[in-house]
């Protein structure tokens, strides 16, 4: 496997007067093609970590390697080509008057020839299933559609990695499902590395691995099953538990013997059906 990210002992503070570091001795690696979720309470350093990965912030102490290149002032632009970012507010991400103009914007900036540009815009819009909306005004789309257009704008630039910083947090459940399905599909088709920063624990449960941040530290890391096994300790880290895990805890309180391993909602439903109801 190829390493997408290798962060060693990264420490960062926005201002010398801050009472603590925004990132404190963070070390982690992410493999190419992985889907990683970063969770943690407000101010724990998630966005700061994302900003160091695409060079919006340069490390003061420690190092950040992105696809084998050590981040430094000279190669920020090279690295940024490989790392696309999508942010929280769908309305703050548009620069074009129409959907197609908007997706074309980054390509225009890179001086891509017109024919190729038209092709890449179309292909990116197809990938997020928004091609029918090409000539529409972005303001007239739903939140989920807007975020899919924002993703198309990133995908058109063919990055190897996409970072979603709470990109679904302002969407309704349908919008969230649309965006997550889009990301899943892109990940399969393009072997994209995905970093999703989220407060939605059910969304985090979809990742291959979860990183839990607390006050600038990387507190826990593991598969969703590993992480959810911490149970109520997670609440102290400012996290919620997935619905299936809450249900398990409630059943345990009623004296029901429940399996220790993490289960998705579907598996939980199966288990309830076969082990509890069919007895
Ligand atoms: N631009 C900035 N200037 C100064 N301090 C900042 C800046 N951005 C973040 N911080 C501080 O750095 C720390 C980490 O913030 P960060 O935005 O990375 O947290 P976060 O985990 O993304 O939080 P949230 O869940 O609220 O988005 C916090 O203490 C925050 O106050
Ligand atoms: Mg943030």
Give the three-state DSSP class for 236.
helix
The rounded Å distance from CA 52 to ligand 2 centre is 13
The rounded Å distance from CA 169 to ligand 1 centre is 17
At 279 the pLDDT is 64
- What is the chain's length? 279
Atom in ligand 1 nearest the alpha carbon of residue 45: 18
Q: Could you tell me if the CB of 176 is within 6 A of ligand 1?
A: no
Q: How far is CA 106 from CA 20, 162, 191, 202, 249, in A?
A: 36, 15, 21, 32, 48
Beta bridge partners of residue 83, listed in sequence order: 161
The rounded Å distance from CA 46 to ligand 2 centre is 5
User: Which residue stretches of the chain are H helix?
Assistant: 46-53, 76-82, 99-109, 114-127, 143-155, 173-190, 201-204, 224-228, 233-236, 243-253, 265-271
At 1 the pLDDT is 63
Q: What is the pLDDT along the chain (279 residues), one digit of tens a residue?
A: 689 999 999 999 999 999 999 999 999 999 999 999 999 999 999 999 999 998 999 988 999 999 999 999 999 999 999 999 999 888 887 888 999 999 999 999 889 999 999 999 999 999 999 999 999 999 999 999 999 999 999 999 999 999 999 999 888 888 888 899 999 999 999 889 999 999 888 899 899 999 999 999 999 999 998 998 888 788 888 887 788 888 888 898 899 988 877 777 888 889 898 888 876
Q: What is the DSSP string of 120-158?
A: HHHHHHHHTT-GGGTTS-GGGS-HHHHHHHHHHHHHTT-
The rounded Å distance from CA 139 to ligand 2 centre is 24
Residue nearest to atom 5 of ligand 1 (CA): 14
Q: Could you tell me if the CB of 52 is within 6 A of ligand 1?
A: no
Q: Could you tell me if the CB of 238 is within 6 A of ligand 1?
A: no
CA geometry: angle at 164 spanning 161 and 167, to 5°?
155
Pick from 131, 147, 30, 41: nearest CA to 85: 147
Answer whether 242's CB lies under 8 Å from 201's CB. Answer: yes
Residue nearest to atom 24 of ligand 1 (CA): 42
For strand 35-39 and strand 217-222, is the pairing parallel, antiparallel, or unpaired? unpaired
Atom in ligand 1 nearest the alpha carbon of residue 48: 18
User: pLDDT tens-digit profile of 197-206?
Assistant: 998 888 998 9
User: pLDDT tens-digit profile of 120-142?
Assistant: 999 999 999 999 999 999 999 99
Q: Could you tell me if the CB of 44 is within 6 A of ligand 1?
A: yes
> Could you say which ligand is closest to the alpha carbon of residue 41?
1
> How far apart, in whole angstroms, are the C-alpha atoms of residue 179 and residue 167?
9
Residue nearest to atom 6 of ligand 1 (CA): 14
Mutate which of 47, 88, 199, 201 for ligand 1? The one with the most ligand atoms within 8 Å of its CB, which is 47
Atom in ligand 1 nearest the alpha carbon of residue 50: 18
């Amino acid at each position: 496997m190829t390493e997408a990210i290798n962060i060693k002992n990264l420490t960062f503070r926005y201002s010398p007067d801050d009472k603590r570091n925004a990132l404190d001795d963070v070390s982690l690696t992410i493999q190419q093609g992985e889907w990683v979720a970063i969770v943690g309470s407000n101010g724990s350093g998630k966005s700061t970590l994302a900003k160091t990965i695409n060079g919006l912030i340069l490390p003061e102490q420690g190092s950040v390697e992105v696809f084998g290149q050590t981040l430094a002032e000279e190669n920020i632009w090279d690295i940024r080509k490989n790392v696309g970012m999508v942010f929280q507010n769908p309305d703050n991400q548009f620069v074009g008057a129409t959907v197609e103009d908007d997706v074309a914007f980054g390509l225009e900036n890179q001086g891509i020839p017109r024919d190729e540009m038209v092709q890449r815009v179309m292909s990116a819009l197809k990938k997020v299933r928004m091609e029918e909306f090409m000539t529409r005004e972005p303001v007239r789309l739903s939140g989920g559609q807007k975020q899919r257009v924002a993703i198309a704008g990133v995908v058109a630039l063919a990055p190897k990695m996409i970072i979603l910083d709470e990109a679904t947090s302002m969407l309704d459940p349908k919008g969230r499902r649309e965006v997550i399905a889009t990301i899943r599909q892109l990940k399969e088709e393009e072997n994209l590395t995905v970093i999703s920063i989220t407060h939605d624990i059910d969304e985090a449960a979809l990742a291959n691995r979860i990183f839990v941040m607390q006050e600038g530290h990387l507190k826990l890391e593991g598969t969703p099953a590993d992480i959810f096994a911490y149970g109520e300790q997670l609440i102290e880290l400012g996290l919620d538990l997935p619905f299936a895990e809450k249900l398990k805890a409630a059943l345990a309180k009623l004296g029901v013997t429940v399996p220790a391993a993490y289960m998705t909602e579907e598996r939980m439903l199966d288990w309830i059906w076969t082990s509890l109801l069919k007895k």
